Amino acid sequence: MLSLTLLWSTAAPAVSAAFLASLVEVIEAFTIVLAVGTIRGWRLALAGSAAGLIVLASIVGLLGPALDRLPLEWLQLAIGILLLLFGLRWLRKAILRYAGLIPLHDEIAAFAAETSELKARTTRQRNRADWIAGITAFKAVLLEGLEVVFIVIAVGVGHGLIGAAALGAAAAVALVLAVGFAVRRPLARVPENALKFGVGVLLSAFGVFWTGEGLGVPWPGGDCALVGFTLVFLLAGVLAVRMARQAIQEAVA
Amino acid sequence: MKFLRTIGKEILGLFVDDEFLALAVLITVCCVAVLLKAFSVVPLAAGGVLLGGCVGVLLISIWRTAHAR
């Protein structure tokens, strides 16, 4: 029972970070694939997406065995630094959006922009229209998928939890596809900025944890230190939103 | 070639958005490594510098952006 609790306390942050981050990424990819499918037909959208998934699978197939050969400390340090860069970037963006310094991400607006650009490009280059549409879907799946792959590897690799993290990501993909194909519209009602804020907090906490482990810092409480780091980044995020809003008010006054 | 360049730029963009934030995070990690390896600082204290440094860098980045607009 105790070992099960310990396993869950280790796996839960990795699985939830992978699920939530993948939710954000898959929704963004879905919006673009939906735009391609609506404008140029589903055959192209699905072919482009399938090609993107094949390239992603190849990258994972090549990277996976290579990661096993690296010394654990190096891997923890490299993954930790990348997680810090990635997580703090997400957290910063979410804070700036909450403060009103940059506009909130709007899936309906993104869908409208993508469809109008696709229409314009396919009209300009009529003979290459199918190619452009296919490449657009391919690029969306590949780039958003790369983020998902990175997050799964980053949060799972340290404790051999890649399988669990991948399950979290797969659940997000299944959820978005099921809801997306049922409604056939961009998933605009998902609170994307709240998700981005939460994932930014989690990934930054993981980043500090792995970077420290890679440098030889023995965190007190082991994995439980992650909870403390999460709280620290959560508080810092809330404080930063207030600070930014105050700066705007001062600038207006 | 142009396509590969676009992909490369997008991948770099996953980690670097605000140059100040990215550079400051890397400098913080380097400082912690130097503290540990060259000055034999207590590892837990170095860990505190890492956590505090990252939080500080985030707050400064937000402050800079907010005051630049």
Q: What is the pLDDT of residues B6-36, one digit of tens each?
A: 778 878 888 898 999 999 999 999 999 999 9
Q: What is the pLDDT of residue A134?
A: 87
| Contact with chain A for residue B46, Cβ under 8 A | yes
Identify all chain B residues contacting A240, using CB atoms and an 8 Å cutoff: 58-59, 62
pTM of the entire predicted model:
0.86
Identify all chain B residues contacting A220, using CB atoms and an 8 Å cutoff: 44
- Counting Cα atoms < 13 Å in the Cβ hemisphere of A98 gives 24
- Flag whether pLDDT at A67 surpasses 90: no
Domain-located, residue B17? no
Least confident of A106-115, A213-222, B18-27, B58-67: A106-115
Per-residue tokens: B64: 């800079």
Rounded to a whole number, what is the distance in Å from the CA of B18 to chain A's nearest CA?
Answer: 8
Residue of A nearest to B37 (CA): A215
Domain-located, residue B24? no
Q: What is the pLDDT of residue A9?
A: 65
| Contact with chain B for residue A79, Cβ under 8 A | no
Domain-located, residue B50? yes
Handedness of CA A52, A57, A58, A63 (dihedral sign): positive
pLDDT digits (tens, 9 = 90+) for A208-249: 999 999 999 999 988 889 999 999 999 999 999 999 999 888
- Residues 6 or more apart whose CB falls under 8 angstroms from that of B61 comprise A88, A92, B18, B20, B21, B24
Domain-located, residue B52? yes
SS3 B67: helix
Query: Domain range holding B66?
Result: 42-69
Helix A192-215 / helix B43-68 crossing angle, nearest 10 deg: 150
- Flag whether pLDDT at A174 surpasses 90: yes
User: In sequence order, what DSSP letters do the residues of A187-209 get, joined into one string?
Assistant: -TTS-HHHHHHHHHHHHHHHHHH
- Domains in chain B, number: 1
Contact A246, B63 (CB under 8 A): no
- Chain mean pLDDT for chain A: 87
Q: What is the pLDDT of residue A30?
A: 92
Per-residue tokens: A47: 């072919």
Separation CA A65–CA A77 (nearest Å): 18
Interface contact A85-B43, CB threshold 8 A: no
Per-residue tokens: A208: 């500090």
Which of A84, A99, A229 faces B25 most closely, judged by CB atoms? Answer: A84
| Contact with chain B for residue A231, Cβ under 8 A | no
Contact B58, A91 (CB under 8 A): yes
pLDDT digits (tens, 9 = 90+) for A76-98: 899 999 999 999 999 999 999 99
Domain-located, residue B56? yes
Which of B43, B46, B58 faces A92 most closely, judged by CB atoms? Answer: B58
Domain-located, residue B30? no
CB burial of B37-57 (b: ≥16 within 10 Å; e: otherwise) equals eeeebebeebbebbbebbbeb
| Contact with chain A for residue B8, Cβ under 8 A | no
Interface contact B44-A232, CB threshold 8 A: no
| Contact with chain A for residue B24, Cβ under 8 A | no
Domain-located, residue B7? no
Separation CA A39–CA A36 (nearest Å): 5
Per-residue tokens: A37: 């499918």
Residue of A nearest to B51 (CA): A208
Domain-located, residue B35? no
Q: Give A15: exposed, middle or buried? Use CB within 10 Å, 0-12, 13-18, 19+.
A: buried
